[in-house]
Amino acid sequence: MSTPIKDCLQTLSRHSEVIEQGMGGEISMETGTPSPVLVQLRQASAVRPAGEDGFRLHPRLREYLSDHLQLFSSYQSLAEIGSKIGQMQALWNELDDVRDSGDRDITDALHSLIQTTVFDIAHALDSNILFLQTRLSTRYGNVKSLDAKKSQNRWYQKQTAQLAGDLNRLAREAERIERHAEERGIAELSNFLRRYLIARILPWQQGLSEMQTLIRKEIFRTREVETNHKLLARMDLLLRQQPAWRGFEADLPEEIPAFLLAARLKPFRPHAEPLDGDRSISQEMELLARNLPPKKIEVEQVPPQRYKRVIDPPRKPPETAAALMLERLLKDLHAAGGKPVSLRAWRERDQEIQETMTADMWLVFSMMALRSRKVRVELIRNPPKLGEHFSHTFCDAVVQPKGGIGLRPTR
Amino acid sequence: MRTINSALKRLGEGEFICNVHYPEEFAALEDPAGRQIADRWCEDIGYRLARLSEEGAYFMAYSIVTADMRAQVREDLRQVRNKLEPIVGWMETLRQSQGQTPNIHEGDMLWESEIGEAVRTSAVLERRLLDMKDLSGARITDTSLDRVRRMLQHLESEGYLVEANPALKGYRVTGKIAYLYQLLGFIAANSTTLADDKLVDQIDTQGRIDAPAPLDVAGGIAIQEPPAPAEEPPQ
């Protein structure tokens, strides 16, 4: 029985030669393809118009064939996953909304679509990593020039950076959907995401990171190659144009590069009947001894001198007269047992305060100190003067201890 | 064990052991156990095992740098031309003979026939080879291909190339080439000779002997009018 799929595949099979030709470039009547064949392929949507009367192979068909035959062309873009992540996210939002309605068919369909999207993402990432591995292991195949290699390096550096960004986004989204699915009791979906996506993200990230390192190395190497060529050409020019140039005065760094210290052992030359008194033998032995590498001087290991850290014991700050007075006040307030106490009256009973502080200074000091301890202190204001709307001065302050909070003396 | 012994012998001879020139010895030194043996051996005789880069060729280097040795290195650099000639000239000839895509780094393949053909078809390269006085054994009757062959053989004996295909005369560049590039890099970094920090590409308007000097009238010489553009031939 004929079906649309069978018909389409039969058309492709009948004209396989034209499709093979289409992989290489444009097909048209001028390239020898008969018009009826083009019409049939057009009807099967295997070709797309290109230019005036030419046709090109359908991009998906080309992609399929490249994928199947592992044909990696230059500057091939990596399979994009950004849109698929967006699609997965949108499908999950839809599933989340529809789930409450209880329509089983729609939820099943959405579930199935999410699974297909996940498989598509996994396939795209696997093929991308494989593609990059192939390209980098063969150093982009047989590129003709250094410029072509540099250009491809740049291209794949950008592509991998973009893919790495998408992969990070995928990791975030997959974990979010998995967590929400778990919370909403959709264990089937959360298990599926864990098994087919989340468990594989780390290997993908590692693979991509390796590829990025390789590309960076390759870029460095191409730069090095260019520099080497330039230096070689300039040194050759210098040697040819300046026959008198012998060398240069080097300001050697502290650590001399190893290549400048390359050494070789003196070749062994046997002598027939050497005599100790022979002058040439003694000279040669002297020369050999001079050329011996310097001996390593064994430096006696002196244990490092140890010092003891001395920490001073904590020292109490000296108590001031004001602090002592405040302490006495707190004791009295505590003893008052909740009765209001006038600060002015209290001062008048204490001889020491009268000698140390004036009345106004005492009022302000004690009031601020008590308020900082969360003790309620009320001002006894003077009546406003003539012409004033508000009173601006006070003559006393009364402590209203409530339940003794903050009145406990510190000692 | 035999390969590590052979590697030690090569190190003692002052050879650069790379994947191209001495692959088995290189593999023995890449093995951690082999490298440990080589390290110990070098240390026992007062040297150390060194590499040209992270993945480059192995070689033996002095372990302790004394004041005398520093003075010797400084003296060597004062006479560095002796080390550069004639290798730089030969390598540059190989580079130029490969046109826009030169391959003269470790592992690159060179074919005697290709280089010979490039030299034969280029008067500049042919002249360059004829001018080379350092090609020992060269005769006046030598063809350009003979000179190319001699040059490649000299580079092989110096350890920069290794014959990879005796039948088709294919040579592979060894890891020792990195030594030459590092030396050039050191010269560029430590002298003003090759430094190009202040180099700006510009057209140098040099005076021509056959052209009259364009001076003003006050100077006594009249300014010459620029020549009128040639008339276009009738179509």
Residue contact B182–A250, C-beta within 8 A: no
| CA gap A286, A32 in Å, rounded | 87
Q: By CA distance, what is B73's nearest residue in A? A: A260
Are B58 and B99 within one domain? no
**Distance from C-alpha of B83 to C-alpha of A77, rounded to nearest angstrom:** 48
The residue among B160, B153, B197, B157 whose CA lies nearest residue B181 is B160
**How many domains is chain B partitioned into structurally?**
2
- Name the percent of chain B lying above pLDDT 70: 82
Alpha-carbon span A190 to A176, nearest angstrom = 10
pLDDT at A135 over 80: no
Order of all β-strands in the sheet with A394-399: A341-342, A394-399, A377-381
Kindly tell me the burial class for residue A188, based on how many C-beta atoms sit within 10 Å of its own C-beta (0-12, 13-18, 19 or more): exposed
Q: What is the dihedral of CA A189, A194, A197, A199, to 10 degrees?
A: -170
Helix (H) or strand (E) run with residue A156 in it: helix A146-183
A112 to chain B nearest CA, in Å? 50
pLDDT tens sequence across A163-173: 888 899 999 99
Q: Indicate whether B209 belongs to any domain.
A: no
Residue A229: closest CA among B121, B201, B108: B108
Residue of chain B nearest A225, judged by CA positions? B105
State whether B100 and B169 are in the same domain.
yes
Over its C-alpha atoms, chain A yields an Rg (Å, rounded) of 46
Chain A residues touching residue B88 (CB < 8 angstroms)? 232, 235-236, 239
Least confident window among A5-14, A361-370, B164-173, B197-206: B197-206
Are B90 and B158 contained in the same domain?
Answer: yes
CB atoms within 10 A of CB B178: 24
Q: What was the pLDDT predicted at B219?
A: 42
- Chains A, B: CB contacts within 8 A come to 144
Q: Has residue A310 got a pLDDT over 60?
A: yes
Q: What is the DSSP letter of A51?
A: T
Q: Alpha carbon B63 to chain centroid distance?
A: 27
Cite the DSSP H helix spans in chain B: 2-12, 23-30, 32-44, 67-78, 81-84, 87-97, 112-120, 123-131, 144-157, 177-190
Closest by Cα among A296, A288, A266 to B47: A296
- Rounded to a whole number of angstroms, the distance from the CA of A212 to the nearest CA of chain B is 19
Residues from chain B contacting residue A246 (CB–CB below 8 Å): 78-81
Q: Does the N-terminal peptide bond of residue A304 adopt cis geometry, omega within 30 degrees of 0?
A: no
- Residues B122 and B180 occupy one common structural domain: yes
Report residue B204's pLDDT band, with 50, 70 and 90 as the boundaries. low
Mutate to test the interface with A, among B81, B109, B130, B132 (most CBs of A within 10 A): B81
**Would you state the pLDDT for residue B235?**
43
Whether B203 maps to a domain, the answer reads no
- Chain B 137-176, residues with CB within 8 Å of chain A CB atoms: none
Question: Contact A167/A208 with Cβ under 8 angstroms?
Answer: yes
The neighbouring-strand residues paired with B48 are B61
pLDDT at residue B216, rounded to an integer: 46
- Higher-confidence residue: A339 or B137? A339
Answer whether A192's CB lies under 8 Å from A177's CB: no
Please judge whether A260 and B76 are an interchain contact, meaning their C-beta atoms are less than 8 angstroms apart.
Answer: yes
Mean pLDDT score across all residues of chain A? 84
Strand ranges for A213-311 from DSSP E: none
Half-sphere exposure of A117 (CA within 13 A, CB side): 22
pLDDT band at B36 (very low <50, low <70, confident <90, very high): very high
Listed residue (B31, B97, B11, B59) closest to B182, CA to CA:
B59
pLDDT greater than 80 at residue B7: yes
Chain A residue numbers touching B180 (CB-CB < 8 A): 232
Q: Answer whether residue B206 is part of any domain.
A: no
Closest to B99 (Cα-Cα) out of A147, A193, A47, A78: A147
Q: What is the CATH number of the domain that holds B134?
A: 1.10.10
CATH 1.20.5 holds for A4-69: no
The answer to whether residue B33 scores a pLDDT higher than 90 is yes
Distance CA A182, CA A174 (A): 12
Q: Quick one: how far is CA A210 from the chain centroid? A: 15
All residues of chain B having their beta carbon less than 8 Å from the beta carbon of residue A233 are 92, 95
Please answer whether residues A218 and A136 qualify as being in contact, where contact means their C-beta atoms are separated by less than 8 angstroms: yes
The per-residue pLDDT for B28 is: 93
A337: Cα separation from own chain's centroid: 64
Greater model confidence, B221 or A344: A344
Same domain flag for B185 and B88: yes
B152-158's contacts with Cβ under 8 Å and 24+ in sequence apart are B152/B110, B152/B112, B152/B115, B154/B86, B154/B90, B155/B87, B155/B90, B155/B91, B158/B87
3-class SS shares of chain A: helix, strand, coil, % to 5: 60, 5, 35
The answer to whether residues B159 and B176 touch, using CB atoms and an 8 Å cutoff, is: yes
Q: Does residue B180 sit in the same domain as residue B109? A: yes
Q: Could you tell me where the DSSP H helices lie in A242-259?
A: none
Q: CB contact, 8 Å: B185 with chain A? A: yes
A385: left (phi over 0), alpha (psi -120 to 50) or beta: beta
Which phi and psi angles does B64 have, rounded to 5°? -110, 130
The C-alpha atoms of residue A128 and residue A121 are separated, in whole angstroms, by 10
Which of A26-30, A73-77, B103-107 is predicted least confidently? A73-77
The answer to whether the Cβ–Cβ distance between A239 and B46 falls below 8 Å is no
- Identify the closest residue of chain A to B85 by CA–CA distance: A239
Contact map slice: B 36-55 vs A, CB within 8 A? 45-47, 50-52
- Spatial separation of the C-alpha atoms in residues A10 and B229, rounded to whole Å: 70
Helix (H) or strand (E) holding A341, with range, is strand A341-342
Distance between CA atoms of residues A12 and A62, nearest Å: 13
For the stretch A235-294, pLDDT in tens is 998 888 888 889 888 888 888 999 999 988 877 777 777 777 778 888 888 888 887 888
Question: Of A76-80, A84-88, A361-365, B219-223, where does mean pLDDT reach its minimum?
Answer: B219-223
Q: Are residues B94 and B169 in the same domain?
A: yes
Whether chain A has a CB inside 8 Å of the CB on B78: the answer is yes
CB-based contact A247 B80, cutoff 8 Å? yes
pTM of structure: 0.56
Are the C-beta atoms of B55 and A220 separated by less than 8 Å? no
**Together in a domain, B92 and B59:** no
The whole domain housing B142 covers 82-190
DSSP for B128-141, please give it: HHHH-S--TT--TT
Greatest mean pLDDT among A48-52, B24-28, B214-218, B220-224? B24-28
Cβ-defined contact of A293 to B64 (cutoff 8 Å): yes
B222, pLDDT greater than 60? no
Is B131 in the same domain as B44?
no
What mean pLDDT is predicted for residues A394-408?
Answer: 70
A206–chain B nearest CA distance, Å: 23
Q: Per-residue confidence at B217, pLDDT binned at 50, 70, 90?
A: very low
User: B146 and B186: one domain?
Assistant: yes
Every domain of chain A and the residues it spans: 4-69, 82-233, 321-399
Neighbours of B118 (CB within 10 A): 19
The Cα-based distances of B155 to A295, A397, B91, B107, B148 in angstroms read: 35, 105, 9, 15, 11
Confidence of residue B212 (pLDDT cuts 50, 70, 90): low
Q: In which band, very low, low, confident or very high, does the pLDDT at A232 lie, cut at 50, 70 and 90?
A: very high
Q: How confident is the model over B127-151, as a mean pLDDT? A: 81
Cα distances (angstroms) measured from residue B24 to each of B10, B28, B31, B220: 12, 6, 11, 79
- Site from A222, A224, A228 to mutate, B interface, most B CB atoms within 10 angstroms: A228
pLDDT at position B35 is 93
Residue B179: inside a domain: yes
B137: phi > 0 → left, psi -120 to 50 → alpha, else beta; which?
left
End-to-end CA distance of chain A: 104
Q: How many angstroms separate the CA atoms of A155 and A160, rounded?
A: 9
Q: Are residues B90 and B175 in the same domain?
A: yes
Query: In angstroms, what CA-CA distances link A34 with A21, A91, A384?
Result: 13, 46, 113
Q: What is the DSSP string of B176-208?
A: THHHHHHHHHHHHHHSSSS--TT-------PPP
Rounded CA Rg of chain B? 26
Separation of alpha carbons B186 and B179, rounded Å? 10
DSSP 8-state assignment for residue A144: S
Q: Any CB–CB contact under 8 A between B79 and chain A?
A: yes
Structure confidence at residue A356 (pLDDT): 84
Interchain contact, A235 vs B194, CB within 8 Å:
yes
Lowest-pLDDT range, A45-54, B17-26, B107-116, B210-219? B210-219
Rounded CA-CA distance A220/A149 in Å is 12
At residue B54, the pLDDT reads 85
